[in-house]
Amino acid sequence: MSAGRRLLTLFTSNSCSLCAEAKQALLTVRKQVPFDLKEVDIHTPENRKECEKYTFDIPVLHIDHKYAMKHRINQEKLLSLLRQGPQ
């Protein structure tokens, strides 16, 4: 992780069309406010816990390990959250 950057974690799946849209939205936002992005495929064996939690909710976005939003990424809201700084 880069020093001073926020960590965004996108819980996703290869078969999720909303997840592809969410990733594109994140890449657009990242052009304005840099952040580190971690993608977590909930359907891998090591992410079984996340799969149980988010099966019907992906994509799910966390900022610095805290829930931020799910389903569709609201770019304006995300920019606002990132500019507020760590909570």
Q: Report how far residue 28's alpha carbon sits from residue 25's, in angstroms, rounded to the nearest whole number.
A: 5
How many independent structural domains does the chain possess? Answer: 1
Residue 87 lies in a domain: no
Residue 1 lies in a domain: no
Tell me the mean pLDDT in the region 16-40. 96
Q: Which residue has the higher pLDDT, 3 or 78?
A: 78
CATH number at residue 61: 3.40.30.10
Tell me the mean pLDDT in the region 64-81. 96
**What is the domain extent for residue 78?**
6-82
Contact 50, 10 (CB under 8 A): no
Per-residue model confidence (pLDDT) at position 87: 64
Residue 31 lies in a domain: yes
Does the predicted model carry a pTM greater than 0.75? Answer: yes
Per-residue model confidence (pLDDT) at position 3: 65
Residue 78 lies in a domain: yes
Per-residue model confidence (pLDDT) at position 34: 95
Residue 41 lies in a domain: yes
Q: Report how far residue 26's alpha carbon sits from residue 22's, in angstroms, rounded to the nearest whole number.
A: 6
